[in-house]
Amino acid sequence: MIAQIEQLMYQLSDLFMAPVLALIAVLFIYSLFASGQFFSQSLQRKRQYSSFVTLINTGIGNKQPLTLTGYPLATLANEYTTISQEQLDVAALKELEGVRNVSRLAPMLGLIATMIPMGPALKSLADGNIQGISENLIVAFSAVIFGLVIASITFWIASVKKRWLAEELVALLPLLNNTPKIAKSQAEVHAVETNHAAA
């Protein structure tokens, strides 16, 4: 019974190899795409920094037609002036979700793709088949190398973007706290003007 279970698990593990390698290839392409997107956003942030400073100095309640490309949280706050800190936190997590998940998933897939060929490699070793050992080990080491490269790229991107979003959030928090006060003062002014007109 135990031998049958072991044989079944061995056969099933072989079936996982092709999907895992396909996923590693897809994640590698994603990491290259994320790198291009990251460098593009870096250039956009440098170009639109003056607009970001203008928004911080003048406030978010004015609905100014500012170009804030590269500043996702500032863009969101400028478009939706009643947005809360919690909503900006969720938006920041959404911005980081892709690269953070890939940076964690890629090493796991690399480890799976490394362990699967080890069984056939050990079997080839027992049979004295040197060529079988080398073929399986090539696949195993290539998979783990790709997994680590993907994780390294996406982890670095996630770390820098996390700092960018934290800087935006720190700069926007005072504006979010002042927005209700501005709205209240405008309502009070409107009420005074209405009373004065009625009198």
Mean pLDDT of the chain: 82
Kindly tell me if the per-residue pLDDT of 87 is higher than 80. yes
State how far the Cα of 199 lies from the Cα of 19, in Å rounded to an integer. Answer: 78
Q: What is the mean pLDDT of residues 17-26?
A: 92
- Closest Cα partner for 71 from 86, 87, 56? 56
Kindly tell me if the per-residue pLDDT of 169 is higher than 70. yes
Q: What is the mean pLDDT of residues 125-129?
A: 75
pLDDT at 24: 95
Contact between 19 and 109 under an 8 Å Cβ cutoff? The reply is no
Task: Give 170 or 175, the one with higher predicted confidence.
Answer: 170
Contact between 96 and 165 under an 8 Å Cβ cutoff? The reply is yes
pLDDT at 58: 85
Q: Record the pTM.
A: 0.78
State how far the Cα of 109 lies from the Cα of 21, in Å rounded to an integer. Answer: 8
Distance of CA 25 to the CA centre of its chain: 18
Q: Domain map of the chain by residue range?
A: 12-193
pLDDT at 131: 79
**DSSP codes, 130-179:** HHHHHHHHHHHHHHHHHHHHHHHHHHHHHHHHHHHHHHHHHHHHHHHHHH
Task: Give 4 or 174, the one with higher predicted confidence.
Answer: 174
Q: What is the mean pLDDT of residues 97-122?
A: 89
pLDDT at 34: 96
Kindly tell me if the per-residue pLDDT of 177 is higher than 50. yes
Kindly tell me if the per-residue pLDDT of 42 is higher than 60. yes
